[in-house]
Amino acid sequence: MWPGSAHSATDHPDQLRRIRYRDAERDKTLVFLANNFVLPALTITELYRARLQVELFFKWIKQHLRVKSFFGTPTTRSRPRSSLL
C-alpha cells in the first residue's frame, strides 16, 4: 500500500502518521507509518527499533539453533507481522 495510491484509502481507511527519523550513526533516513497520534515520534521510532531487535534475535535463533517449534498460546504465535503500532 503506497500513500496516495488509488487503493490506499480502501486498503487502510484509518489515518496514518508518517514519521521520518534520521539515524546519524548509520547515515540513513528511516520512514515509519503508525496509527498512534498520541505518542511522540521519538518514542515510536524507539519501539520500532526494539521490535527490529526482537525480529533479528528470532532470525538468528532460526539460523543457528535447531528449534522445531516455539512455545506459546496460538493467539500470541499467530499475530500478524504487518500490524501497525
Domain of 40?
1-44
pLDDT for res 29: 93
pLDDT band of 83, cuts 50, 70, 90: very low
Q: Is residue 34 part of a domain?
A: yes
Q: Is residue 31 part of a domain?
A: yes
Cell 527490529, residue located: 52
pLDDT for res 84: 47
The secondary structure element, H or E, covering residue 60 is: helix 41-64
Res. 75: pLDDT tops 80: no
Question: Bigger pLDDT: 83 or 61?
Answer: 61
Q: Is residue 37 part of a domain?
A: yes
pTM (2 decimals)? 0.60
* Alpha carbon distance 8, 36 (integer Å): 18
φ, ψ (nearest 5 deg) of residue 30: -110, 140
Q: Is residue 51 part of a domain?
A: no
Number of domains, the chain: 1
Res. 71: pLDDT tops 60: yes
Cell 500500500, residue located: 1
